Amino acid sequence: MSTTPRTPYRVALIGYGLAGSAFHAPLIATTPGLRLDAVVTANPERREQLAREHPGARALDTPEQLLAEADEYDVVVIASPNRTHVPLARAALTAGLATVVDKPLAATAAEARALCGLAASRGTLLTVFQNRRWDGDFLTARRLVEEGALGRVHRFESRFERFRPKPKAGWRELADPAEVGGTLYDLGSHLVDQALTLFGPVRGVYAEVDVRRDGAAVDDDVFLALTHTSGTRSHLWASALAPLSGPRLRVLGDRAGYVKRGMDPQEAALRAGHRPGDGPWGVEDPALHGLLGTDEERTPVPTEPGAYPAFYAGLATALAAGTPPPVDPNDAVATLTVLEAARHSAATGRTVQLN
């Protein structure tokens, strides 16, 4: 990487599957101060898609080709399968490139901690794409908690539930632990990150991790009960076999509660080809606004606009001004520590205590 500050910063993206093409590439391309210069994908169909969607970006065959010309870039974004996250992040950081890794950062907390240490020792930026911190419903809940509208919060309930009774082909459904597949590490990474962001460290973890679907080889139905050091309890659900979904969020305090149904609209918009800047972004249908209050008296609360573009805007600012990255990679270590404890709890049927 060049040592001279520059703008726009030159971004190379590794992977052009769903994560790379629908999330990272459009968000990078529409962020002032960033430029999508290259994408690593050897798939002919994805190369054609890249040429249509981002004609100014070069297609590279391998990560090794990218790293051989590291001086041509300022940032590497890793949106390839989970098993590649650690070796690619290690190579990018060693090459002096600011590095963004899609969640989960690693398969284990130890691996994630080692990457954080490598980044710190080299003075190189490392961050993790925890985009669900910028879901509109989470931003709304966070505001209500911080304003004290709920009083003292004692319970946080959060769900990512889907109904996909037939497993799809792909690495996320492979049983090999090296693939880091399954629902616990996929959706659980978001759920735990949100809970830790709102209520801080965890001292106790209980979990149920099951394989429910016929033909499935990895966990697809998960429940976690976290006890935060503050005393707040988080109950988290993730499932691929939920024909009827529960509330997306329910937050209970000693003054009021907040309940919210429906999913943030940003993922659907990005999948449909919409881009930030096309019009109002992340604005939810008012019919899906959550409710604040009690059973006797409750009022609708407009959902904050979702703000996925804020992640890459924060990255551009961090590169230019040396400010902290949009997500502290040490937060990913904390999340993975909880996920590892959840797997141990599910295997033993016991609550795992964390120091």
R_g of the chain computed on alpha carbons = 20
User: Using CA of residue 14, residue 98, residue 322, residue 193, what is the dihedral sign?
Assistant: positive
Residues of the chain with confidence (pLDDT) below 50: 1-4
Query: What pLDDT, on a 0 to 100 scale, did the predictor assign at position 175?
Result: 80
Torsion of CA 219, 225, 228, 232, to 10 degrees: 140
* Cα gap 286→300, rounded to integer Å: 9
* Cα gap 300→239, rounded to integer Å: 27
How many beta carbons lie within 10 A of that of residue 23, not counting itself? Answer: 21
Q: Which residue has the tokens 């509208």?
A: 149
Asked if residue 8 has a cis previous peptide bond (ω within 30° of 0), the answer is yes
Contact 79, 24 (CB under 8 A): yes
Query: What pLDDT, on a 0 to 100 scale, did the predictor assign at position 76?
Result: 98
Query: What pLDDT, on a 0 to 100 scale, did the predictor assign at position 177?
Result: 85
Supply the DSSP string of 17-35, one letter for each residue.
Answer: SHIIIIIIHHHHHTSTTEE
Q: Using the 8-state DSSP alphabet, how is residue 297 labeled?
A: S
Q: Which residues pair with 159 in a beta bridge?
A: 237
How many beta carbons lie within 10 A of that of residue 196, not counting itself? Answer: 19
Query: What pLDDT, on a 0 to 100 scale, did the predictor assign at position 5?
Result: 57
Query: What pLDDT, on a 0 to 100 scale, did the predictor assign at position 91?
Result: 98
Query: What pLDDT, on a 0 to 100 scale, did the predictor assign at position 242?
Result: 96
